[in-house]
Structure 1
Amino acid sequence: MKPRILLLLPQSPFDNASGAAVSSRTIAETLAANNFTVQTLCPTTIEKHNPKHDHYQDLINLKLNPINKQYNNQTIYHFTHKNVEHTLLKTSLSSKDWQNDTHIADTFEQLLHQTLTTFKPHIVMTYGGSHRGPNWLNLIKQSQAALVLLIHNLAYKSANYFNAADLIIVPSQFTADHYHNLLGSTCTPLPIPINPTTIIPNQPRDPIFLTMINPSPEKGLFFAIHLAHHLATKRPDIPILFVESRATAGHLLAAAKQHNIDLTQHESIMVTPQTDDIRDIYQITRTLIMPSIIQETGGRVAAEALINAIPTITSDRGALPETVSTHGFPLPLPKTLNMQNLDAPITPQDTNQWLDLIIKLTDDQAFYTQASQNAKAAIPRFSPETFTQKLLACLNPLLIQIANPT
């Protein structure tokens, strides 16, 4: 008997700007490739919300060939990709708002009830915690499916959600320790799930840019602005690339203006739109920076850069030192800089250690080559084989219970 898995998400699993969505989809595809029958049920909403966004065209662009169906006067998209059967409920609302629309949220719960009744999953994997979450959990428990939580952030403050789970998977030991200390919960840390074919360029890399992906406040926007300004002033020969994601060029320039910095004066600083194929970015990246000011639970971008043998400089917040380990460079940020104090002063002294390392990676080719080799040595930690082995091992006790019900 093939174990049946339902992936239940509050956003599209094809939202490539969301590390949580990408990780969850990769888990589903990994299980489908290992003799599991896997379905998903999700809305079309994505984190970078635009009410006029054409989600159907997104699916077409990804060559997913969705079939339109009607359910309760709502459109659903149905398709199979990498042996995973997907059902997406169309909504033009944001990931924060769609569950506040009674008709949409009720329709989604009806679809969930129908899926639990007809597909009869042995395990439901999900994350969330919205006000509709308890309804989902009740339906799951009534179906007698095992509940696996895929936790990707530190937003959960109550143990109620965790206590309902049969297994809690997190992307780092840091996150497991956090929830053990906060809630007394036992979580299982797994490596960040990464599909190398989606992140490693097909052509040899042409390393040019110092790159930052998603220059948003939580990812270190204001620190990066000062760092880029100082670097572009001191070394205009070092090209800097900001890659839009949830944060756009407009956000970047406006934030710089708040700090009395005009980034447009620097010809070495460039901004490129978000891409559906991150391989294009890694192909031209020489060094990657990830100066997150939040307590990161994993650090997908840092792991992907390491796999591409890209020297990676991160902050020392959260799980980032664990993720890059000895393969990258975790550096400190000003201790006063956090999401509650975005206006904390950032001095040239605060950026000097980062600046010096970037310049050394640029000027000292032997040092750069060694840093690149150290980054590449992280590949076994994040290999599909390593992840699959650990994923199946942590699911095995549940599978034994399913095969031998009491």
Structure 2
Amino acid sequence: MKILFVNTHYFLPQSRGGMANTLDQLCRGLADRGHTPGVLCAFLGSRDMFGLATRARIKVAAMATGIGAAHDAALSYPVWRAWHPVDVLPALAGREQPDIIVAMGGKVVQVIDAARQTGIPLLTQVHDVEFDWHGGDFAHIADVPVVANSQFTADAYRTAFGVDAQVIYPFMPLDQYRTDTHRRVVTFVNPLLRKGFRLGVEIAALCPELPFHFVGAIPDVDETGRELDRGMLALPNLTVEPFRGDMRDVYAQTRVLLAPSQWNEAYGRVINEAQVSGIPVLASTRGGIPEAAQDGGILLPADAPAERWATALRRMWNDETLYADLCAKAVHSASRPQLQAETQLDQHECALEAAINDHRAAHLSGCQLPA
């Protein structure tokens, strides 16, 4: 099966967020099963040598083929990068002729609208409940089969649009994250504002005896666009570093994962990445986080005061009986059948094949047979 995933966000190596990792690992898993996945994504710009080279390739491709999308071999499957993926999608799909086009992330409404021009079977994968991010009214594409990354997400789309989405948790081969851990630090992965950056800093300030480690992009501006005071990070017990290629190096140091998200996060895959090594989470109850964490940690209301978060963290850190119980429950949470790679690949194959078969059936039912 030849599959073209379309993501209007930036992609590896220019983005290392959860959705980018999910798509990358899904492409690799499908390729291992004999399929031919490819990705059309947005281009961040020429901020480094990779960006400069990609920008040049986009110009060359536009002149040579009329399609402003640069193909590269940075990953183990084909990736096309474009300033505006939606604009180049019909021509690229017409040339590559995939068996199915999957709108995965970003402006999925615009992607599906453009993809309809090709006559190729379609599937939508939704990874958030921010309906105003879709580039249009999702109801306009509600007739296309949908895969949701959690039951929380599926319920939100059912309520808002009457969509009956299949639930497949984010694809993450957990064996690639399992590690022995020295349990030395409190780790906060991808500390964006909406994921609780401010609260995380407050908790670290209230627990000066505990070492904190923030991994990922630190926000530069606040919710109103004003520059953040970087001095808030000048805590003696807080270290900061960018994402690592191999997150096992991060989890190998982690005793507690901190996930104080302030928005309706659709799932929270980093929770399971940590849990597979018996690392419990201290997280908020927002969105799909409870579905990801189950009982492998402690959950608090997102608006609970920082003092309450600090108290819960100290309990997890100092109460060895509680900690051992949460560690065991974390491993159990990550061992669910729905999170196992082979099960997830089976589910994805079934969803892709069903979308193709439904498209063919609809096409045949619309044909008029000669008298």
Same fold (TM over 0.5): yes
- 1:27 aligns with 26
Mapped to 1, the partners of 2:140 and 2:32 lie a distance apart of 29
Distance 1:371 1:200, change over 3 A: same
Choose the corresponding residue for 1:217, options 193, 218, 243: 193
Segments of 5+ residues of structure 2 without an aligned counterpart are: 365-371
1:172 pairs, out of 150, 154, 158, with: 150
Give the distance between the partners of 1:216 and 1:388, measured in 2 at CA.
Answer: 30
Question: Residue 149 of structure 1 aligns to a residue in which SS?
Answer: strand
**Aligned partners of 2:118 and 2:94: how far apart in 1?**
7
Match of 1:76 among 70, 91, 114: 70
The Cα shift of 1:35 comes to: 2.8
Moved over 6 A (4+): 248-251, 402-405
What one-letter code is carried by the residue in structure 1 that aligns with 2:50?
H
Give the CA deviation at 1:401: 4.2
- Partner of residue 394, structure 1: 351
In structure 2, the partner of 1:102 is: none
Q: Deviations over 1:300-349 (max 9, x none)?
A: 211211122211111000111111112222211327xxxxxxxxxxxxxx
- CA apart distance, 1:298: 0.8
Aligned length: 347
- Please state whether the residue corresponding to 1:40 is helix, strand or coil: strand
1:293 CA drift (Å): 0.5
Residues in 2 aligned to 1:221 and 1:75: alpha-carbon distance in whole angstroms = 35
Any residues of structure 2 matched to 1:331-370 within 5 Å, and which? 331-334=300-303, 350-370=305-325
Counterpart residue type for residue 218 of structure 1: R
Partners of 2:142 and 2:161 within 8 A in 1: no
Q: CA deviation at 1:270?
A: 1.9
2:143 maps to 1:188 = no
The answer for the alignment partner of 1:5 in structure 2 is: 3
Post-superposition shift, 1:214? Answer: 2.2
Match of 2:141 among 162, 184, 188: 162
Contact kept, 8 Å, 1:13 with 1:42, in 2: the verdict is yes
Q: Is the contact made by 1:16 and 1:276 (CA closer than 8 Å) also made in structure 2?
A: no
| Residue number in structure 2 paired with 1:119 | 96
1:17 partner SS? coil
Q: What are the Cα deviations for residues 251-304 of structure 1, in whole angstroms up to 9, with x where unaligned? A: 9xx7568xxx9553x422222233233222111111111000001101121121
Task: Provide the rounded CA distance (Å) in 1 between the counterparts of 2:256 and 2:276.
Answer: 13
1:72 aligned counterpart, secondary structure: helix
Is the 1:125–1:149 Cα contact (8 Å) retained in structure 2? yes
Instruction: Return the alpha-carbon distance in structure 2 between the equivalents of residues 319 and 58 of structure 1.
Output: 39
- For 2:93, give the aligned amino acid: L
* Partner Cα separation in structure 1 for residue 48 and residue 222 of structure 2: 19
Q: Name the SS for the 2:265 alignment partner.
A: coil
Alignment of 1:50-89 (within 5 A): 52-56=47-51, 70-73=60-63, 76-79=70-73, 81-82=75-76, 84-89=77-82
Whether the 8 Å CA contact 2:122–2:355 is kept in 1: the answer is: no
- 3-state SS, counterpart of residue 113 of structure 1: helix
1:385 corresponds to 2:342: yes
TM-score (norm 2): 0.82
Conserved in 1, the CA contact under 8 Å of 2:9 and 2:105? no
8 A Cα contact 2:69 2:80, kept in partner: no
Structure 2 CA distance, aligned partners of 1:276 and 1:16? 11
Question: Is the partner of 1:87 in helix, strand or coil?
Answer: strand
1:318-329 counterparts in 2 under 5 A? 318-329=287-298
**Is residue 239 of structure 1 aligned with residue 239 of structure 2?**
no
Whether the 8 Å contact between 2:25 and 2:171 is mirrored in structure 1 is yes
* CA–CA separation in structure 2 for the residues paired with 1:129 and 1:249: 22
Q: 2: distance between equivalents of 1:296 and 1:247?
A: 18
Q: Any gaps of 5 or more consecutive residues in structure 1?
A: 60-66, 90-97, 100-104, 336-349
SS in 2 for 1:377: helix
Distance in 1, Cα, partners of 2:156 & 2:359: 30
Distance 1:333 1:256 in 2: 23
The 1:228–1:379 alpha-carbon spacing in structure 2 relative to 1, beyond 3 Å, is: same
Paired amino acid for 1:53: D
Cα distance in 1 between the residues matched to 2:207 and 2:22: 33
CA 1:189–1:7: 2 relative to 1, 3 Å = same
Matched with 2:178 is 200
2:275 corresponds to 1:306: yes
For residues 44-89 of structure 1, the C-alpha deviation after alignment (integer angstroms, 9 at most, x for no partner) is: 32xxxx7523335999xxxxxxx9992114672422744x322334
- C-alpha contact 2:265 2:289 (8 A) present in aligned 1: yes
Q: CA 1:5–1:85 in structure 2 vs 1: closer, same or farther (change >3 Å)? A: same
The offset of 1:151, in angstroms, is 1.0
**More deviation in 239-248 or 394-403?**
394-403
Structural mapping, 1:129-144, within 5 Å:
130=107, 134=110, 136-144=111-119
